[in-house]
Amino acid sequence: MSRRGRPPRMDPEERARVILDAAERVLLSRGLRGTSMDAVAAEAGMSKRTLYELFDGRAGLVEALVRRLREGIVRPLGDVQQALPLAQRLRLLLTPERLPGAGSVALEVMRAAIAEAPHQPDLAARMLEEGPLAVRRLIRDELERGMSRGEIALDDPGAAAALLHRMALPCPLARLLRTDGADEPLEAARARVDRAVAVFMAGMAAGGCGVGCRLRGRAGATIRARSQPPERP
């Protein structure tokens, strides 16, 4: 039987890792509804008080879990990487080191979020904030970095970030609906990111991005893309 209470000589970062590992196991075995603070504390061999010292309740715990899952695929660039040209930065940002497989925690979290969103809108909103919206913010950060360096200019970097996000990272619905257990090869995912970034950058240079952008050409000239009004629903 695991001993309850705070494990000795464990710093907050290590405790958080142990708790999130336990939360993953509970979520896979019991689903989102069964992922309670009591269940996670028991799985981690810690008291609920220890969990509350690190996480703002169940919603905060799930939010941290989603953040960790997202950072395992897309995470901010380091200082050395940020010195690279824009296209390389975007490729590094979006190219996955690994992909969640069938039955993985990442896919189970998405399934749970879809199922629970009508009943737990606040929790679903926090999962959305730390998942796809966080990815778009990271893309936007790199685009704005490029703007500040004169690599690119955008009327709406948020719209450009959303466009590249949709191009590089496909909607997970197909993965959620598949029952044959087949996973996309990692090399195929990386090739898709390469194509998406290439098409995105070429589209801006050709004036067809539709988000009011311009890109510096090879000779240093500025190539402007026409700013098109947003489509009305």
For 156, the domain range is 56-224
Q: For residue 66, is it within any domain?
A: yes
Contacts of 72 (CB under 8 A, 6+ apart): 97, 98, 106
- pLDDT at residue number 220: 33
Structural domain total, the chain: 1
- pLDDT at residue number 223: 32
Distances in Å between the alpha carbon of 128 and those of 13, 49, 173?
24, 27, 15
Stretches in the chain below the pLDDT threshold 50: 1-3, 7, 102, 208-210, 212, 216-233
Length in residues, the chain: 233
Q: For residue 195, is it within any domain?
A: yes
pLDDT digits (tens, 9 = 90+) for 167-213: 998 777 777 776 666 677 888 889 999 999 999 988 776 654 445 45
**Taking the alpha carbons of 102, 107, 108, 111 in that order, is the dihedral positive or negative?**
negative
d(CA 166, CA 122) in angstroms, rounded, equals 25
pTM listed for this prediction: 0.75
The CATH number given to whatever domain includes residue 135 is: 1.10.357
Contacts of 130 (CB under 8 A, 6+ apart): 63, 64, 66, 67, 70
The per-type count for the chain, helices as H runs and strands as E runs, is 12, 3
